């Protein structure tokens, strides 16, 4: 990414990530659709409650990998493959040990977390079992993300897409067989998810070893190097914390939703699946921005940073036009996919009102994610943490104020208030940063 047009690099890098995000999100949506239509609204609600708790761990894992990816992009841009491999080896070693420990902790304390979230008694049991099985897959989730980050840092975002596509199709296929045809319960859905995660981790490991041995850490390099560990914690630690802050706020929001009853919980799970089609791909574009900026920083080509960032923001806006238009016109039929039978009409009506607002509001995270990509690429990880903390704190407070009166529509208004607060912090800070670097030169 250190030569050629910024738009071309960002487009080629981001599109496979977007397709991978869509594939994963399509599976998540299909999973909820299958649970809601073949098991019932209790299963749909249970998955909705489990989502923020599950994402607290998953996003912390991916956050560590995102931060480490910036570091590895700098090494790759500088042509230092030895330090690149050592960094990847240290990440894999420390991350595997940490994910196994977190897995055990989460399995033990799942019931306590759900009681703290005031989960309704009628779905407490199935939600507990579902989450505990999901947590078994955490080490596989980490290994896939660590190895995929290694490939993406070298500019290869297409290969992880292939493995993610295969595992998503496998996961959806198993769900259709065991839930749709054989009518097994929600526990089986969790088992198929873990199986798919393990397969994706294995595939990317074999591919990296066979096709790119120069990028694959040797046995000697798969150890915890203290120097690299300090750098990884410096880059990945704040990003992991930042990624964890978001679901912590969502757990607080989910607790407020839980007080509104199973029907509202089910509707909120459905609209959250649609929301993810906007938020997560926008984060993928931000990852492209961060990689572009980090590689050019590593190569000493700082004159390419601002054009790359501006091109990334244009790509974010183009994506918002696409997803916002689709959401506005398809929100009612999409909501109808998630439920059938008793209570379906109320769920569809409520969710459609929420999505009608969010189709416009998705523009806000397009910009905030773009700025987050800039700061990660520049190595300003604590700035991204503060921006996220501001956004989720304001959003959670807004939900507590508005949700009791407006239901999940109040959550939509709380979202836009949170994103506005984040923009008021990030945009001025960006211009101050650019001005300061110009004066230094």
Report the C-alpha gap between 30 and 395 in whole angstroms.
28
- Tokens 């806000």 belong to 364
**What are the residues whose beta carbons fall under 8 Å from the beta carbon of 247, sequence distance 6 or more?**
52, 53, 55, 56, 59
pLDDT of residue 417: 93
pLDDT confidence of 387, banded at 50, 70, 90? confident
Look at residues 192, 335, 197 and name the one whose alpha carbon lies nearest to residue 275: 335
pLDDT of residue 325: 92
CB atoms inside a 10 Å sphere around CB 112: 9
Judged on CB neighbours under 10 Å (0-12, 13-18, 19+), 311 is buried
Q: Confirm whether pTM is higher than 0.85.
A: no
Asked if 93 and 222 touch (Cβ cutoff 8 Å), the reply is yes
Map the chain to HEC letters.
CCCCCHHHHHHHHHHHHHHHHHHHHHHHHHHHHHHHHHHCHHHHHHHHHHHHHHHHHHHHHHHHHHHHHHHHHHHHHCCCHHHHHHHHHHHHHHHHHHHHHHHHHHHHHHHHHHHHCCCCHHHHHHHHHHHHHHHHCHHHHHHHHHHHHHHHHCCCCHHHHHHHHHHHHHHHHHHHHHHHHCCCCHHHHHHHHHHHHHHHHHHHHHHHHHHCCCCCCCCCCCCCCHHHHHHHHHHHHHHHHHHHHHHHHHHHHHHHHHCCCHHHHHHHHHHHHHHHHHHHHHHHHHHHHHHHHHHHHHCCCHHHHHHHHHHHHHHHHHHHHHHHHHHHHHHHHHHHHHCCCCCHHHHHHHHHHHHHHHHHHCHHHHHHHHHHHHHHHCCCHHHHHHHHHHHHHHHHHHHHHHHHHHCHHHHHHHHHHHHHHHHHHHHHHHHHHHHHHHHHC
pLDDT digits (tens, 9 = 90+) for 77-98: 777 788 888 888 888 887 788 8
pLDDT confidence of 35, banded at 50, 70, 90? low
Distances (CA, A) of 424 to 121, 126, 314, 420: 41, 42, 19, 6
pLDDT of residue 342: 63
**What are the residues whose beta carbons fall under 8 Å from the beta carbon of 145, sequence distance 6 or more?**
61, 62, 65
pLDDT digits (tens, 9 = 90+) for 332-349: 888 887 766 666 788 888
Report the C-alpha gap between 212 and 207 in whole angstroms.
8
pLDDT confidence of 256, banded at 50, 70, 90? confident
More confident residue, 354 or 33: 354
Q: What is the chain's mean pLDDT, rounded? A: 78
Report the C-alpha gap between 24 and 339 in whole angstroms.
21
Pull the structure tokens for residue 258.
């839980």
pLDDT digits (tens, 9 = 90+) for 144-159: 888 887 887 777 767 7
Quick check: 439 pLDDT over 50? no
pLDDT of residue 137: 86
More confident residue, 182 or 315: 315
Quick check: 420 pLDDT over 90? yes
pLDDT of residue 232: 72
Length of the chain in terms of residues written: 441
pLDDT of residue 205: 85
pLDDT digits (tens, 9 = 90+) for 271-327: 887 887 777 778 778 888 888 888 787 777 877 888 888 888 888 898 899 888 998
pLDDT of residue 418: 92
Report the C-alpha gap between 52 and 275 in whole angstroms.
13
Asked if 336 and 387 touch (Cβ cutoff 8 Å), the reply is no
Phi and psi torsions of 241, nearest 5°: -65, -40
Q: What is the mean pLDDT of residues 377-382?
A: 78
More confident residue, 132 or 278: 132
pLDDT digits (tens, 9 = 90+) for 346-358: 888 888 888 889 9
Q: Which residue ranges make up each domain of the chain?
A: 6-440
Pull the structure tokens for residue 16.
């496979």
pLDDT digits (tens, 9 = 90+) for 194-203: 888 888 888 8
């Amino acid at each position: 990414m250190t030569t050629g047009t910024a738009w071309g690099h960002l487009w080629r890098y981001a599109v496979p990530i977007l397709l991978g995000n869509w594939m994963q999100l399509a599976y998540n949506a299909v999973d909820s659709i299958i649970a809601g239509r073949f098991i019932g609204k209790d299963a749909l609600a249970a998955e909705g409650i489990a989502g923020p708790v599950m994402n607290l761990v998953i996003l912390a894992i991916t956050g560590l990998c995102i931060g480490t990816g910036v570091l590895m992009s700098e090494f790759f841009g500088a042509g230092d493959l030895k330090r690149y491999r050592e960094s990847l080896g240290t990440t894999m070693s420390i991350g595997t040990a940490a994910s196994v420990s977190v897995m055990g902790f989460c399995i033990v304390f799942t019931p306590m977390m759900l009681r703290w979230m005031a989960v309704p008694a009628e779905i407490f049991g199935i939600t507990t079992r579902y989450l505990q099985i999901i947590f078994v897959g955490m080490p596989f989730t980490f290994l896939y993300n660590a190895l995929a980050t290694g490939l993406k840092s070298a500019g290869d975002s297409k290969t992880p897409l292939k493995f993610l596509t295969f595992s998503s199709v496998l996961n959806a296929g198993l769900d259709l067989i065991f839930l749709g045809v054989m009518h097994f319960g929600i526990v089986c859905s969790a088992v198929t998810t873990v199986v798919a995660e393990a397969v994706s981790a294995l595939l990317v490991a074999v591919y990296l070893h066979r096709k790119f041995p120069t990028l694959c850490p040797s046995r000697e390099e798969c150890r915890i190097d203290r120097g690299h560990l300090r750098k990884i914690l410096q880059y990945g630690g704040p990003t992991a914390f930042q990624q964890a802050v978001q679901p912590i706020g969502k757990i607080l929001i989910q607790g407020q939703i839980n007080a509104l009853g199973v029907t509202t919980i089910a509707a909120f799970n459905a609209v959250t699946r649609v929301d993810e089609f906007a938020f997560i791909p926008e984060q993928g574009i931000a990852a492209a921005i961060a990689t572009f900026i980090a590689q050019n920083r590593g190569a000493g080509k700082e004159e390419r940073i601002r054009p790359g960032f501006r091109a990334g923001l244009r790509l974010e806006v183009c994506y918002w036009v696409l997803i916002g238009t689709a959401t506005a016109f398809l929100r009612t039929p999409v909501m109808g996919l998630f439920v059938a039978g008793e209570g379906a009409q109320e769920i569809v009506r409520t969710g459609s009102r929420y999505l009608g607002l969010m189709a416009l509001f998705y523009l806000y995270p397009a910009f905030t994610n773009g700025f987050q990509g800039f700061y990660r690429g520049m190595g300003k990880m604590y700035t991204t943490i503060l921006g996220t903390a501001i956004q989720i704190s304001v959003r959670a407070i807004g939900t507590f104020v508005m949700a009791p009166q407006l239901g999940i529509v109040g959550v939509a208004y709380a979202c836009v208030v949170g994103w506005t607060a984040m923009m008021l912090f990030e945009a001025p800070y960006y211009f101050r940063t650019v001005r300061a670097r110009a004066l230094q030169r």
